[in-house]
Amino acid sequence: MSLLSGNRRYLALWFPFLPTDRLERRHGATPDERPLIVLARVGSALRVAHADRRARALGLAPGLTLADARARVPDVVVADRDAGADHALLKRVADWCDRFTPLVGLDGEDGVMLDVTGCVHLFGGEAAMRAEIVSRLGFMGFTVQAAIAGTPDAARAVARYTTQGVVAPGMEAEAVRPLPAAALGIDGARVLALARAGLKTIAAIADRPRAPLAARFGADLMDRLARVLGEVDHPTSPDRPPPALMVERRFAEPLARTEDIDATVAGLAQGLARQLEEHGLGGRQFEASFFRADGIVRRIAVASGRPLRDARILARLYAERLDALADPLDPGFGFDVIRLAALACEAMEGRQARFDGSEEDDEAVAGLIDRLSARLDAAQVMRFAAEDSHVPERSFRTVEAISSHAGGGSAADRAWPAAARGEPPLLPLRLFAPPQPVEAMAEVPDGPPIRFRWRRIVHDIVAAEGPDRIAPEWWRDGEDALTRDYFRVEDRAGHRFWLFREGLYRRERERPRWYLHGLFA
């Protein structure tokens, strides 16, 4: 992807009034435009943690006690700090920014960082892209400062300490030299120590020999300096891993009709299928992102059990998923961007049809599993996988059918025991959990049963095979676990049962007990 190569460009967003913006967006500004402060408990005192623009203009800076703030402005509006709500709001802003680039991450408690490498041409250039983001966020009620530079640290410093919007490539050092030392992102104690040493700006620090500074103020100071000056690029980690492939469609007028949304998803499926074919890949996990005009993002994922690049099948899976949503897709004022991405891909080669037509059956089963998983959720569609245990009730487990039905199962799956050709199955199709106790009679204590009573009905046995002895798993059940002798038996009516005797006669138990564990037919 072009997003992952070439000279890097980063856009930093800073929200200096995020907590107060959140409160004002929720409740609206007070009729008389009174100043607003947010309080946090520091020790035993309530202090101002955040203040809006009006409060700061009146001298209500963070750090003041509540008593001092009310003494200066008696009618100030007070709210408690809610860090969780602030973080959730910032996360929603980051999700909204995903429409500009998939490489978006949070930047501290009040910032968002976008890797816009290779994306700016879609929005008319860096300045136009920055202006659009700032304008739209401002329309949504946010106060934001933004800057674009060649490293995240340089972009962050320029956004927070200047009004310069775009730093030309290679000009990071000139842009940040006049900035205060706090722009390096260091703690207040070191900022004060640098100021006492006469190093109040980045230029003053950059012009000094670095070895003595590192010895006195810490090696990380020099690392931060190099990153802010643009000498070292320290890429950020996006909150969401970038997709392998993606296609999207933008609309000048937001889309709200269900028919138009379905048609758009089908068209995007065709575009994504072409990309997958060009790369020789098939998708296993897909995600459709619906960006609403009011900033809300809805993401809907589907999965396939085998590599998939058929646009019709992919569109049908999304149709099934959208129809089955417990929380229906609400366009609100409409979607202005719809994106379809392949999150996980595998190499996929053309398949040659078999003469017996079994490939069509395999594809039909795989398609059925995909559709059921899309409609009911993957966790509701299960299959059985063999386990390494001779105890019947532990010899299998249930796994998601969609996770590994391609190619007959996962590489970690064990092979099921198979009966010889022409022989009856080794295990019954139906097992009882737990095994049901029965009254059985045998000619000799260690011999097969000749009669048993189950659910008040007596079954006379005409044929029996066994015993198949299964030793106990003492490491799971303890040293007192009992041996089982299994018999496949058939009664006069032709019904076949799977019985076992628990406990060896007089060696483990004086009178062994009989159980019915399964039915063959």
Mean pLDDT of 187-210: 92
Mean pLDDT of 392-398: 81
pLDDT category at 448 given cuts 50, 70, 90 is very high
User: What was the pLDDT predicted at 105?
Assistant: 93
pLDDT > 50? residue 5: no
CA atoms within 13 A of residue 48's CA, in its CB half-sphere: 27
d(CA 261, CA 291): 12
pLDDT category at 372 given cuts 50, 70, 90 is confident
User: What was the pLDDT predicted at 411?
Assistant: 44
pLDDT > 80? residue 369: no
Closest CA to 288 of 310, 314, 259: 314
d(CA 314, CA 322): 12
For residue 60, how many other CB atoms are within 10 A of its CB? 22
For residue 238, whether the previous peptide bond is cis, meaning omega lies within 30 degrees of 0, is no
SS3 (DSSP) at 454: strand
d(CA 395, CA 114): 50
For residue 434, whether the previous peptide bond is cis, meaning omega lies within 30 degrees of 0, is yes
**Residue 435 amino acid letter:** P
Mean pLDDT of 185-204: 92
User: Going by C-beta distance under 8 Å and a sequence separation of 6 or more, which residues neighbour residue 193?
Assistant: 217
**Residue 259 amino acid letter:** E
pLDDT > 90? residue 414: no
The phi and psi torsions of 17 (rounded to 5 degrees) equal -120, 40
SS3 (DSSP) at 391: coil
pLDDT > 90? residue 38: yes
Strand residues in 387-511 grouped as ranges (E): 396-400, 430-442, 449-454, 457-470, 484-491, 496-502
pLDDT category at 413 given cuts 50, 70, 90 is low
* Lowest-pLDDT choice from 133-137, 152-156, 379-383, 413-417: 413-417
d(CA 213, CA 462): 95
User: What was the pLDDT predicted at 248?
Assistant: 93
User: What was the pLDDT predicted at 360?
Assistant: 54
Place of tokens 């532990």: 394
User: What was the pLDDT predicted at 460?
Assistant: 95
* Lowest-pLDDT choice from 69-73, 266-270, 283-287, 379-383: 379-383
Query: Is the CB of residue 324 less than 8 Å from the CB of residue 376?
Result: yes
Q: What is the tens place of the pLDDT at every residue in 460-487?
A: 999 999 898 998 888 887 878 899 999 9
Closest CA to 275 of 301, 314, 244, 306: 244
The DSSP bridge partners found for residue 379 are: none
pLDDT > 60? residue 9: yes
More confident residue, 338 or 413: 338
pLDDT category at 426 given cuts 50, 70, 90 is confident
What angle, 0 to 180 degrees and rounded to 10, lies between the N-to-C axes of helices 18-27 and 83-97?
90
Q: What is the tens place of the pLDDT at every residue in 112-156?
A: 999 999 889 889 999 999 999 999 999 998 999 999 999 999 999
When the pLDDT of each residue in the chain is averaged and rounded to a whole number, the result is 86
pLDDT > 70? residue 363: no
Residues of the chain with pLDDT > 90, as a percent, come to 53
User: What was the pLDDT predicted at 435?
Assistant: 93
d(CA 14, CA 177): 20
The phi and psi torsions of 300 (rounded to 5 degrees) equal -130, 125
Query: Is the CB of residue 29 less than 8 Å from the CB of residue 145?
Result: no
Q: What is the tens place of the pLDDT at every residue in 223-279?
A: 999 999 988 888 778 888 889 899 999 998 999 998 999 999 999 999 999 999 999
pLDDT category at 394 given cuts 50, 70, 90 is confident
d(CA 143, CA 159): 12
